């Protein structure tokens, strides 16, 4: 299975929706998929991966703020 290469336009739309909601429902995903010419499955997987990345970033930034308070 090859990786999907997203265009800038697709990423902009995906990121924009991610800022609004981390868990878009299937209707919302289908709407976005049609708009940027992707399959809904690709949108779903992108959101799953993006949430994982977001959680990692959240975790590392909270560790940083904890560490900066321990002086």
Question: Which CATH number fits the domain that encloses residue 39?
Answer: 1.10.10.60
Query: Token digits for 54?
Result: 């977001």
- Distance in angstroms (rounded) separating the CA atoms of residues 24 and 38: 15
Is the pLDDT at 70 greater than 70? The verdict is no
Of the chain, the percentage scoring pLDDT greater than 70 comes to 86
CB atoms within 10 A of CB 10: 20
Query: Token digits for 8?
Result: 């800038």
Could you tell me if residue 15 is inside a domain? Answer: yes
pLDDT tens digits along 2-35: 888 999 999 999 999 999 999 999 999 999 999 9
Could you tell me if residue 44 is inside a domain? Answer: yes
Could you tell me if residue 47 is inside a domain? Answer: yes
Range of the domain at 19: 8-53
Looking at the 3D structure of the chain, how many domains does it have? 1
Query: Token digits for 56?
Result: 């990692």
- pLDDT for res 49: 98
Could you tell me if residue 33 is inside a domain? Answer: yes
| Helices 26-35 and 8-20: angle between axes, nearest 10 degrees | 160
Q: How does the average pLDDT of the chain come out, rounded?
A: 91
């Amino acid at each position: 299975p090859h990786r999907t290469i997203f265009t800038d336009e697709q990423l902009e739309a995906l990121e924009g929706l991610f800022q609004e909601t981390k868990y878009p429902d299937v209707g919302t995903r289908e709407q976005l998929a049609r708009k940027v010419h992707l399959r809904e499955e690709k949108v779903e997987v992108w959101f799953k991966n993006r949430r994982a990345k977001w959680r990692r970033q959240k975790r590392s930034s909270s560790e940083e703020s904890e560490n900066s308070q321990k002086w």
